[in-house]
Structure 1
Amino acid sequence: MGRLGIGLQLYTLRDDMAKDLEGTLRHVAKLGYEGVEFAGYFDKPAEEMKALLDELGLKAIGSHVSLERFRNNLQGEIDYLHTIGAKYAICPYVGAEERENADQWKVLIAECEQLAIEVGKQGLQFLYHNHDFEFHHKVDGEFVFDAMYAGKDAIQVEMDVCWVKYAGQDPLAYIAKYAGRLPLLHFKDFSKDAEGKLVTLELGLGEVPLEEVIKAAEQAGVQWLVVEQDHCQKPPLVSIENSLNWVKEHYINVHN
């Protein structure tokens, strides 16, 4: 069994990327991350982004693309991904005003299926990235998370194990359930504050059973572990280094 790729969701470094995209990507590559998942391109033309990634030896895994961007410029988003050599077009979030009840979710699921079909025609894969709110509503008797994929093979899974566990579900069981259609796994850790709200942490400091997640991911055919920390207690560049050091110690350096 080959080793999983280790990537970084650049949302973690959104402020650094806005200030100095090239310098930030150089730092990410120097630390040893193998790939990056974008959350915005900060006005960098696709050809220039591709040249920079090639120079740094970073793989473009995919990109988080808002529903608004999909709706307004689908072909442009597809073209950018093709140019930088990425494979995955990912819906990262659904605004609260569009997910207040089951009927709204049915509309969204149908829209995602159509996006997935169009993206697939052009050689890419459409993934949906979860938070916890997909476990707050049910559609036809099952959680929205599961309804998103039920009978809709075009939509692939980007599972955020942190949010799955925060929602009170078992991430290991969910990884096994979606084996074969789960190419990307958001690899995150968390605790809860005094009010029970999510606090994202560096890897190894929280509640997620990370080593068990890795084993389950390998068995499920996951291609990339994508490190992410929504909000960092330290400078984000420090936090991503600490998290990668955890991955090296507990996975890369001991992988058979």
Structure 2
Amino acid sequence: MSKTAAPGTSVQLYSVRDAIAADLAGAVARVAEIGYTQVEPYAFHQRTDEYAKAFADSGVTAPSGHAPVIDAEDPDVVFDAAARLGMGIVIDPFVPTDRWQTADDAKRLADRVNELTVRAAAHDVRFGYHNHQWEFTNKVDGRPVFELFAAQLAPEAVLEVDTFWATVGGADAPAVLRSLGDRVVAIHVKDGKVSGDIATVLPSSESALEVPDALRAAFENQMPAGQGDVDVAAILAAAPQALRVVEFDSYAGDVFEGIASSLAWLNENDK
């Protein structure tokens, strides 16, 4: 019998993207068999009907999802798809490092997120952003540019903090979560090595999916929750309100076994 997911635990389907590409319905079913009752799809507006059927067939829900909205020509297409899937939160997962350099950059991005938050609300959806490491590595007058960005968000805008990447970027992730409070509606839970190529090599400025070989290899050093350098227990304690979303950018072993191990650890340790 599969283990039942702890309340508030989801998994980013990007973790199993190869299986999704080969057989979306089968991949979602396998995630459900592991014990996840919630999932976080990516680019869901491109395969909305397929996702809807797979979720219904497998009995999972999608409280949140990722899509590139900040640069979208028609964001309402994404928000419409989210509403169709019963999704309450849409997160843009990637704005490259070259657009996180200055105070003006932070304001420009915050203004865009605020604008999109209003548009999302018309679909009964909340909107927000998901970080990588550069939003914390890049500084303005000694402050992470992410701080400037977050300070200018409208109260209705939300954040999904990738706690692994925040740690890689040199942040005290639990302190960041405490400072942001209820604005953090979800966190990415992942673990692994936080130094070396993973801290210094960046993906392309076009897409988080395009990464150099050194970074791809460093991704494979990611580990199930509780097995790496990240203080996952302290992170969970700092954000009790946040949806826990397990994710691997990559994994050296069987990624389904990886997400199963993370789920088991969360069920045991996320009290």
TM-score, reference length from structure 2: 0.82
Change (3 A) 1:105 1:157: same
What residue in structure 2 maps to residue 200 of structure 1?
A: 222
What residue in structure 2 maps to residue 171 of structure 1?
A: 173
In 2, are the aligned partners of 1:175 and 1:217 still within 8 Å (CA)?
A: yes
> Higher strand proportion, which one?
1
Within-5 A mapping of 1:196-235: 197=199, 199-218=221-240, 221-222=241-242, 224-235=243-254
Deviation at 1:204, TM superposition (A): 1.6
Residue-by-residue CA offset, 1:12-66 (whole Å, 9 max, x unaligned): 11111000100000000011112111112385343x5323312322111221111
RMSD across aligned positions (CA):
2.2
Deviation at 1:242, TM superposition (A): 1.8
**In structure 2, how many angstroms separate the alpha carbons of the residues matched to 1:51 and 1:149?**
36
Change (3 A) 1:177 1:67: same
Change (3 A) 1:58 1:232: same
What residue in structure 2 maps to residue 57 of structure 1?
A: 59
**In structure 2, how many angstroms separate the alpha carbons of the residues matched to 1:136 and 1:213?**
19
**In structure 2, how many angstroms separate the alpha carbons of the residues matched to 1:26 and 1:182?**
29
Q: Helix, strand or coil for the counterpart of 2:182?
A: coil
What residue in structure 1 maps to residue 184 of structure 2?
A: 182
- Percent sequence identity is 28
Deviation at 1:182, TM superposition (A): 1.1
Residue-by-residue CA offset, 1:61-113 (whole Å, 9 max, x unaligned): 22111146x52231111111001100111010113443344433332222122
Deviation at 1:122, TM superposition (A): 2.5
What residue in structure 1 maps to residue 205 of structure 2?
A: none
What residue in structure 1 maps to residue 214 of structure 2?
A: none
**In structure 1, how many angstroms separate the alpha carbons of the residues matched to 2:157 and 2:246?**
22
What residue in structure 2 maps to residue 14 of structure 1?
A: 17
2:10 maps to amino acid: G
**In structure 2, how many angstroms separate the alpha carbons of the residues matched to 1:41 and 1:243?**
24
What residue in structure 1 maps to residue 132 of structure 2?
A: 131
State yes or no: 1:247 paired with 2:266: yes
Change (3 A) 1:132 1:55: same
Figure out how many residues of one structure are paired with residues of the other and give that number: 245
Structure 1 regions of 5+ residues with no counterpart?
none
In 2, are the aligned partners of 1:18 and 1:42 still within 8 Å (CA)?
A: no
1:211 maps to amino acid: A
